[in-house]
């Protein structure tokens, strides 16, 4: 039994989402995690997971490792006291710890492949909720965006403390994603913004309000088939993220390169201070923008169609 799950990208609203403003995120279907489950001739549960450099019996992984928890949580949910002998492999196109939702994608793909193999497929709501619980092991206090985008495989509109809303695109659009290669621990950048917010609350609340308007407008443009209008919104959102000190020299250089190469707009994506940026392009220009970003120092690029 095989199952796969997409990655994800934050389009608008990062950091402001922590302060109860909306954020938008979408699946990246061109880069995926695939899980395959087979009967095993050897007793036990055997795992082949190159993305974490693990090849062996699952019991050799710590019990609190997120992948171990996928198995234990599922077996508990399905009331399996003695799971069958299995051989499970996980293959991934998604880089680990790069802000593309690899952890949530692994959980979703595994939960689906295992539950279907055991003839007890889980509804999407359960896959989403179980993945959210496992996400806490990766991120401490996850927003819930990653698991929702990946489990439902749809764009989401998210406000902290409110039910996540999925929505549809009226017209697909092309993004180039570029990785600076600089590690970007989200907890650190979120903590840095919080310290600045405490020092100058009024100014930062005003910034968050501006970003909230951008996220709301962006959803409207996506739903009404005007994705080309997202470019200027990306540029504005990036400026606000620069004011919040979560950009970096590497991110700013790639953003400037993308715009110069013909992108309609560009911004950092995710926690910032490293990690990824995104650029909105016409389909015909995507390859040349990606090449320009590679020449400017991006360690990897990905061209993806959103929706």
Domain boundary among 141, 166, 191: 166
Assess whether pLDDT exceeds 90 at residue 94: no
Distance CA 219, CA 13 (A): 11
State the pLDDT confidence band at 34, using cuts at 50, 70 and 90. very high
141 with 233, same domain: the answer is no
- Residue keyed to tokens 């039910």: 163
pLDDT computed for residue 183 by the predictor: 83
More confident residue, 259 or 96: 259
Assess whether pLDDT exceeds 80 at residue 112: yes
- The pLDDT of 161-172, averaged and rounded, is 92
Q: Are 296 and 253 in contact, with CB atoms under 8 Å apart?
A: yes
Residue 185 phi, psi dihedral angles, 5° rounding: -65, 115
Domain boundary among 166, 200, 225: 166
195 with 80, same domain: the answer is no
More confident residue, 187 or 86: 86
Interacting residues of 90 by C-beta distance below 8 A, sequence separation 6+: 33, 34, 35, 47, 48, 49, 50, 51, 67, 106, 109, 110
Assess whether pLDDT exceeds 80 at residue 99: no
59 with 154, same domain: the answer is yes
162 with 258, same domain: the answer is no
Domain boundary among 145, 166, 187: 166
Number of domains in the chain: 2
Q: Is 252 exposed, middle or buried (0-12, 13-18, 19+ CB in 10 A)?
A: middle
184 with 161, same domain: the answer is no
148 with 188, same domain: the answer is no
Q: Are 72 and 65 in contact, with CB atoms under 8 Å apart?
A: no
15 lies in which domain range? 2-166
Q: Is 179 a catalytic residue?
A: no
33 with 149, same domain: the answer is yes
250 with 112, same domain: the answer is no
Of the candidates 39, 64, 146, 209, the residue annotated as catalytic is 146
State the pLDDT confidence band at 38, using cuts at 50, 70 and 90. very high
pLDDT computed for residue 147 by the predictor: 92
Q: What is the pTM of this model?
A: 0.88
212 with 96, same domain: the answer is no
297 with 186, same domain: the answer is yes
N- to C-terminal Cα separation, the chain: 26
């Amino acid at each position: 039994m095989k199952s796969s799950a997409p990655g994800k990208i934050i389009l608008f609203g990062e950091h402001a989402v922590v302060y109860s403003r909306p954020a938008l995120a979408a699946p990246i279907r061109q880069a995926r995690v695939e899980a395959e489950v087979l009967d095993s001739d050897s007793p036990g549960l055997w795992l082949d997971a190159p993305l974490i450099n693990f090849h062996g019996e699952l019991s050799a992984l710590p019990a609190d490792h997120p992948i171990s928890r996928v198995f234990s949580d599922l077996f508990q949910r399905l009331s399996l006291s003695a799971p069958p002998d299995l051989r499970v492999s996980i293959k991934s196109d998604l880089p680990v710890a790069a802000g593309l939702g690899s952890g949530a994608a692994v959980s979703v793909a595994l939960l689906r492949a295992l539950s279907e193999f055991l003839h007890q497929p889980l509804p999407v709501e359960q896959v989403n909720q179980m993945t959210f619980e496992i996400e806490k092991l990766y991120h401490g206090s996850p927003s819930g965006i990653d698991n929702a985008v990946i489990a439902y495989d749809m764009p989401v509109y998210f406000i902290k403390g409110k039910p996540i809303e999925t929505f549809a695109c009226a017209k697909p659009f092309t993004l180039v994603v570029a990785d600076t290669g600089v590690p970007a621990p989200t907890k650190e950048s979120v903590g840095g913004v919080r310290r600045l917010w405490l020092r100058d609350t009024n100014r930062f609340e005003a910034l968050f309000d501006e970003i909230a308007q951008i996220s709301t407008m962006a959803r409207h443009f996506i739903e009404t088939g005007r994705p080309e209008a997202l470019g200027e919104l990306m540029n504005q959102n990036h400026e606000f993220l620069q004011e919040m000190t979560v950009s970096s020299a590497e991110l700013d250089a790639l953003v400037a390169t993308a715009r110069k190469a013909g992108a309609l707009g560009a911004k950092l994506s995710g926690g910032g201070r490293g990690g990824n940026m995104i650029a909105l392009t016409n389909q015909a220009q995507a390859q040349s923008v990606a090449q320009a970003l590679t020449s400017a120092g991006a360690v990897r690029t990905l061209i993806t169609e959103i929706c």
